[in-house]
Structure 1
Amino acid sequence: MKLLKKILKFTGITLFVILLVLYFLFWKFSAPKSDQQVIERFSQSTIAPTLSHENFKGFEYRKLSIIKDTTLPTLVFIHGTIGSSTDFVKYMKDSLLLSKANMISYDRIGYNYQDKNPVQESINFERDMLQDILQGINPKKTIVVGYSYGGPIALALQKKIHKVLLLAPAVYSEVEPMPWTLNFYKWKFTRWLVPPVWQEASREKLSHKQDLQKFENNWKSTPNQIVSIHGTNDWIVPHENSTFLEQLFPKNQFKLINISDAGHGFIWSKFDTIKQHLIQELD
């Protein structure tokens, strides 16, 4: 009996330590990276981006820019929830893409390194910030790429540009899932367990459905050509988001590309596939 108690005690302590280590790694891995850490991710790239701190309506944010030839088209990436400008590092390091395009990626408010500002919970705000970022870039050579929550921001753009490319866009409130894990943020006695950047992501997620309802009946007012790429096995942002858009837009304005058996993380897991579609839009 004493041996059994010792075994159970040892097992309990071991599991507790493992959980603490996993929690620490989760916190550290998901936290926004410092400027130095971001630049280090491009250490093996042939072209390093310019890292700058910009201002929009009194909010400071970080932007990565690779502008080498103004005659080339420009890809502007918008990250999702949770996310950051570094979500697109692999694309911004790719030699073939670098030969064909300039690239910009930025941290939305609330997702910057040591950001003291909250997420704005507003597609309107995000759209206006995007339009500010696009100033000075030739609109006829601009392709805005919106991933996940970045999708509705790109789609809300009323400025005419070359094209809007959506990657698993969260644009339809009727199929917006609310994971049970959001309760860790909603319950005050467990909120302290949620890392700060995940608290911001949770706030944005909880308000997203209501915010979408202000836009989803007017998505077709965009003047832009739309391409939506979506994984058929996406349960975080269901594939129905893109089929909703397909039914909404005329065929000469909208194209849906399905990625079989791909989930929401396909911008990483299906990099080569997404890269080829980007190249097709650039050529």
Structure 2
Amino acid sequence: MKLLKKTLQFIGITLFVIFLILYYLFWSFSAPKSDSKVLEKFVDSSVLPILIHKNFKGFEYRKLSIVKDTTLPTLVFVHGTIGSSTDFIEYMKDSILLSKANMISYDRVGYNYQDKNTVQESIAFERDMLSSILQDINTDKIILVGYSYGGPIALAIQQKVRKVILLAPAVYSKVEPMPWSLNLYKWKLTRWLVPSVWQEASREKLSHKQDLRLFENSWKSTPNRIVSIHGTSDWIVPFENSTFLEHQFPKNQFELIRIPDAGHGFIWSKFDDIKQLLIHQLD
């Protein structure tokens, strides 16, 4: 009996230590990185981005810019939920893309390093913030690239730009999934287990469906040409989001590019494919 008790205690302690290690790795991997850590990711790049802190309506945010030639188009990346400006680092380091475009990426409010502000839970706010970022760029040169929740933000822009590219856009409330894991945030007893940046993502996720209803029936009012790239096996943001858009636009304004069997993380897992598609849109 004593041996059994000691064995169970050992197993319990071991499992608890494993849980702590996994939790720490999960927290450290997903937490927003400091400015120095972000710039370290570019040490093997031919071009070092300019990292600055800007202000929009009293909210400070971080922006990465690589602007070499103002005659080139500018790719402006908008990250999703959860996400950050660093989601697109491999694209911003790619020599071929660097030869063909300037690039900008930024942290949305609530996702900055040690951000004291919460997410704004508003596509309208995000649209206006993005518009402020675009104001000093020639609109004929702007190509917006919105990933996941960044998709509706890019799509909500009403000013005429060169093109809008959507990567697995979350634009249709009726197919918006609500994962069980959100309960960890909703339940007060377990909320403390959720890292702060994931609490922000959970808050934004829970309000996204209702917020989408304010926009989803008027996506077609955009003056821009739209290209939507979507994995057919995406269960986080279902492929039906893009087919919903396809039915709203005339064929000469909208193009749907299917990535067979790809999931939601295809901007990383299918990097070469997505890069080639971006290059094609630049040419």
Same fold (TM over 0.5): yes
Partner of 2:144: helix, strand, or coil? strand
TM-score normalised by the chain length of structure 1:
0.99
The superposition leaves residues 244-283 of structure 1 with CA deviations (integer Å, 9 ceiling, x where unpaired) of 0011111100000000110000000000000000000100
Secondary structure in structure 2 of the residue aligned to 1:52: strand
Counterpart amino acid of residue 176 in structure 2: E
Runs of 4+ in structure 1 deviating by more than 6 angstroms, as ranges, are none
Q: How many residues align?
A: 283
Is there any run of 5+ residues in structure 2 with no aligned partner, and where? Answer: none
Question: 2: CA distance between counterparts of 1:114 and 1:233?
Answer: 34
Aligned-partner SS, 1:180: coil
Partner Cα separation in structure 2 for residue 68 and residue 162 of structure 1: 19
Residue of structure 2 equivalent to 1:7: 7
Tell me the residue number matched to 1:249.
Answer: 249
AA in 1 matched with 2:214? K
| Structure 1 segment 100-111 matched on structure 2, within 5 A | 100-111=100-111
Q: What CA deviation, in whole Å up to 9, does each residue of 1:213-245 have, x standing for no partner?
A: 000000000000000000011000000000000
For the pair 1:22 / 2:37, whether they are aligned, the reply is no
CA distance in 2, matches of 1:110, 1:4: 48
Partner letter of residue 118 of structure 1?
T
CA distance in 2, matches of 1:46, 1:92: 10
Alignment of 1:170-209 (within 5 A): 170-209=170-209
Cα-to-partner distance string for 1:12-58 (whole Å, 9 max, x where unaligned): 11111000110111111111000000000001000010000001111
Specify the alignment match of 2:259 in structure 1: 259
2:27, 2:141 → 1: CA distance?
Answer: 39
**1:2 Cα deviation after fit:** 3.0
For residues 29-44 of structure 1, what are the structure 2 equivalents within 5 Å?
29-44=29-44
Residue aligning to 2:271? 271
Distance 2:108 2:4 in 1: 53
Per mean C-alpha deviation after superposition, the further-off stretch among 136-145 and 221-230 is 136-145
TM-score by length of 2: 0.99
CA–CA distance in 1 between the matches of 2:152 and 2:26? 28
Q: What is the distance in 2 between the residues matched to 1:99 and 1:8?
A: 60
Deviations 1:162-214 (A, max 9, x none): 00000000000000000010011111111111111001000000000000000
Q: Which residue of 2 aligns with 1:60?
A: 60
Secondary structure in 2 matching 1:82:
coil
Aligned equivalents of 2:47, 2:210: Cα separation in 1: 41
The alignment's C-alpha RMSD in Å is: 0.6
The unaligned stretches of length 5 or more in structure 1 are none
CA distance in 2, matches of 1:111, 1:204: 11
Percent of matched pairs sharing the same residue: 79
